[in-house]
Homo-oligomer: A and B are copies of this chain.
Amino acid sequence: MFELSSPGRRAWSFARTDLPEWAAADLVPPEHLAPEPVALPEVSERDLVAHHTRLTHRQYSVDLGAYPLGSCTMKYNPKLADVAASLPGLARVHPAAPPSCTQGWLELLSELSRALAEVTGMAAVTLQPPAGAAGELTGLLLLRAWHASQGDTGRTKVVIPDSAHGTNPASVTLGGYEALTVASDHRGCVDLAALRAVLDDEVAGIMLTNPNTLGLFEDDIAAITAAVHEVGGLVYYDGANLNAILGVTRPGDMGFDIVHLNLHKTFAVPHGGGGPGAGPVAVTEALAPFLPGPLPARAPDGTYGWRTPARSIGRVHSWHGNALALARAYAYLLALGGDGLRRVAEIAVLNANWLRRRLGDHYDVPHDRTCMHECVVSAAGLKRRTGVRAADVAKRLLEEGFHAPTVSFPLVVEEALMIEPTETESPQTLAALADALVRIAEAASVQDHHAPRTTPVGRVDEVRAARRLVATFDARLPPTGGG
């Protein structure tokens, strides 16, 4: 982009105007006026289009094929949701416009909240958090506010299992708590005895995801939530894995108090290369008064407005959350309905189990029992036999035209490959993916350290990137060819 630049070239054009043409110096006091304009690329629209179109040809995506990244739920993102989210009546609405001109939006947000409450088995929902981690932090602040409301300010710790996603401990810290890690047991589940041993009146709560990060359903879940409640703690549900249990079981029924959802996983909001997502938080009746506000609310006359809960912790977003992402999720929800959501869970779980079984002869399966929406296999044996690690398998899979699974996570499994096929991959695609993984295992060799060789670039030097930081074009090294 910067190399395409030529001084004075331009893509921009602005509408005809007949406003007075005050000069910059008439409009900006001298001490504030930029001495020179910001140096940006100067390119033609044609070159801009070619540049980015070419870049997209160097980018894998769900639309190009299977994306079995564990813990990420990379399912098909229906095109109809793209269209819904670009309707001018949704996309061109100012967030500070009074409710009298945003009734459609308020109804949408209100109905979406209701549906998410039903799916999770909770009482009330905030749609403000713009991603999962933001939802977690919101949840922890709710937990804090709730304890404070009980006059209980001595709790300093939040328990998390060792298999938890990194955002959990990080959010715990930002929520002002200390993270207390409990180990998983041999089944890959929370060790109930170990958990009981750490539970005391310093524990503010626990964060869990169920199915857990190994893709396993925590079957002691009722006992776990009861044990935490017993010591006065609250139980937080990380909803990143909700895809597995849609219409099957609900966090509320399991005894959870606070739930965040990743709409960019479970509800097919496209991931955008790393966002935007949406991380709504749902809570029990008891916690509802603490939710961030304002919330959409329906008046007795049927009109909608905003209402801030009585003891609200305050806002967690500049406006109303990632509204257009919420609109996409709502369109998806309408398309699927209750029946479609249940079907999602059924087929997501079927696909994952099929893969687990199919791969079992070629990879280690540390927890070889019915998994939920994803399965974790290990390349530990492969590594011992051939030197080929999980990361190499991942790179080889890129050569086969698939995206790689999640590797080296969860941390509790050596050489982990965490594979989440999702319900939108057909049996044929699953079979092709499995065949590729089997082929890779069977032909594993030291050559695989050099994979991938057929991708737009070869294996990338991550160490150099960190050691010799070049984070802007201005700090660039002299070109070394390619790209």
Name A residues whose Cβ lies closer than 8 Å to a Cβ of B: 4, 6, 9, 44-47, 49-50, 53-54, 57, 61, 63-65, 76, 78-79, 424-429
Find out whether the CB atom of A53 lies under 8 angstroms from the CB atom of B64. Answer: yes
Find out whether the CB atom of A54 lies under 8 angstroms from the CB atom of B64. Answer: yes
Task: Decide yes or no: A49 and B76 within 8 Å by CB, A4-B428, A6-B428, A428-B4 being known contacts.
Answer: yes
CA distance A242 to B37 in the complex (A): 40
Find out whether the CB atom of A46 lies under 8 angstroms from the CB atom of B76. Answer: yes
Partner of A50, one of B45, B47, B65, B78: B65
CA distance A54 to B62 in the complex (A): 11
Find out whether the CB atom of B44 lies under 8 angstroms from the CB atom of A424. Answer: yes
Chain B residues lying within 8 Å of A53, measured Cβ to Cβ, are: 61, 63-64
Find out whether the CB atom of B54 lies under 8 angstroms from the CB atom of A426. Answer: no
Task: Give the 8 A-B residue pairs with the shortest CB-CB distance, closest first.
Answer: A46-B76, A53-B63, A46-B424, A53-B64, A49-B63, A50-B65, A54-B64, A57-B57
Copies in the complex: 2
Chain B residues lying within 8 Å of A57, measured Cβ to Cβ, are: 57, 64
Task: Decide yes or no: A44 and B4 within 8 Å by CB, A54-B64, A63-B53, A65-B54 being known contacts.
Answer: no
Chain B, residue nearest A44 (CB): B426
Task: Decide yes or no: A47 and B429 within 8 Å by CB, A57-B57, A65-B54 being known contacts.
Answer: yes
Find out whether the CB atom of B426 lies under 8 angstroms from the CB atom of A9. Answer: yes
CA distance A113 to B110 in the complex (A): 51
CA distance A99 to B53 in the complex (A): 41
Chain B, residue nearest A9 (CB): B426
Chain B: minimal CB distance from A416 (Å): 27
Chain B, residue nearest A64 (CB): B53
Chain B: minimal CB distance from A346 (Å): 16
CA distance A54 to B428 in the complex (A): 17
13 A-B pairs in the complex with CB atoms less than 8 angstroms apart: A4-B428, A44-B76, A45-B78, A45-B79, A46-B76, A46-B424, A46-B425, A47-B426, A49-B79, A50-B63, A50-B64, A53-B64, A57-B57
Chain B: minimal CB distance from A391 (Å): 26
CA distance A64 to B427 in the complex (A): 34
Given contacts A9-B426, A47-B426, A49-B76, could you give 4 more A-B pairs where the C-beta distance is less than 8 Å? A4-B426, A45-B76, A50-B63, A54-B64
CA distance A44 to B79 in the complex (A): 13
Find the residue from A9, A45, A46, A426 having the highest chain B CB count within 10 A.
Answer: A46
Chain B residues lying within 8 Å of A54, measured Cβ to Cβ, are: 64-65
CA distance A416 to B423 in the complex (A): 54
Find the residue from A9, A64, A427 having the highest chain B CB count within 10 A.
Answer: A64
CA distance A49 to B76 in the complex (A): 9
Chain B residues lying within 8 Å of A429, measured Cβ to Cβ, are: 47
Chain B residues lying within 8 Å of A64, measured Cβ to Cβ, are: 50, 53-54, 57
CA distance A25 to B425 in the complex (A): 36
Chain B residues lying within 8 Å of A44, measured Cβ to Cβ, are: 76, 424, 426
Chain B: minimal CB distance from A347 (Å): 11
Chain B residues lying within 8 Å of A61, measured Cβ to Cβ, are: 53
